[in-house]
Amino acid sequence: MICVLLNDSDFDRTLSPLEFALEKMGVLYRTWRTFREGFPQDASYCDGLIISGGFTMKNYFEEKSDLYGASYLRNFNKPILGICLGMQILARLAGVSLVVSKELGLSRVWLDGGNDLFKGMKSPLEVCQRHNYALPYVPHGYSIIARNDSTFIQAIASKDNLKYGIQFHPEEIDLGSEMDSLKIFSNFASIVERHSTENSGGEK
């Protein structure tokens, strides 16, 4: 099971574009709306995590909050995919301070086709951008796996192949992301399944 940490309160009572995308690709998931429900109490329930986009990181980095999530992510040793804000959260956990870098609309992104997250995908790919901040450099322990002409770092992958971050929004098909971008979700599901199978002798 992939657990979705949904950070966008605009979708408190309705399905988000991310959830629609997962359903379209046949990915089994369960959603936690972090702004209201916090985080999964039993990490063994989740074989992988997707951290959605959103507007604030306070549920992750304010210890006074009952929804404090940074420690949860640090202790989660299974595959994680961060989208937009989700990638920025992963970068913050790795000690990176973000810089202002506004990008809204469509742009072409060049993908590292050798990375499992982008397996079988076309490159360049036209995708939806919707962010106010970006990574000024690649976090320690990560490598860059996608770039464009404006926000240079468009995707990162940890060297242990457990953490992935993408700055763009592959789920936003209605806002112009190409259909091919949805393969990111089925590819991530395959990464999660492989990791779960390889570690089935112990904790998933």
* CATH number of residue 87's parent domain: 3.40.50.880
Distance in angstroms (rounded) separating the CA atoms of residues 25 and 8: 21
Q: Residue 150 belongs to what domain range? A: 2-198
pLDDT at 126: 92
pLDDT tens digit string along 5-61? 998 888 888 999 999 999 999 999 999 888 887 787 777 789 999 999 887 777 676
Rounded to an integer, the average pLDDT of 168-173 is: 92
Structural domain contains residue 70: yes
Q: Mean pLDDT, to the nearest integer, of 140-144?
A: 94
pTM of the predicted model as reported, rounded to 2 decimal places: 0.90
Going from the C-alpha of 80 to that of each of 3, 5, 71, 120, 156, the distances in angstroms are 10, 10, 14, 20, 12
Look up 171 and say whether it is catalytic: yes
Amino acid identity, position 57: M
Active-site residue, from 3, 19, 46, 84: 84
Average pLDDT over residues 115-135: 90
CB-count burial class (<10 Å; 0-12, 13-18, 19+) for 198:
exposed
Q: Is position 174 within any domain?
A: yes
Is residue 203 assigned to a domain?
Answer: no
pLDDT greater at residue 133 or residue 192: 192
The structural domain count of the chain equals: 1
63 is catalytic: no
pLDDT value at residue 159: 93
User: Does any domain span residue 204?
Assistant: no
Give a yes or no: residue 95 inside a domain: yes
Specify the higher pLDDT residue, 105 or 164: 164
Phi and psi at 184, nearest 5°, equal -55, -40
The residue from 103, 171, 172, 178 that is catalytic is: 171
Which one is predicted more confidently, 45 or 112?
112
Average pLDDT of the chain is 87
Task: Identify whether 79 is part of a domain.
Answer: yes
pLDDT at 70 over 90: no
Pick the catalytic residue from 3, 46, 131, 169: 169
60 located within any domain: yes
CB 18 within 8 A of CB 48: no
Active site annotation includes 23: no
> Minimum mean pLDDT among 50-54, 86-90, 166-170, 197-201: which range?
197-201
Q: Is the pLDDT higher at 56 or at 67?
A: 56
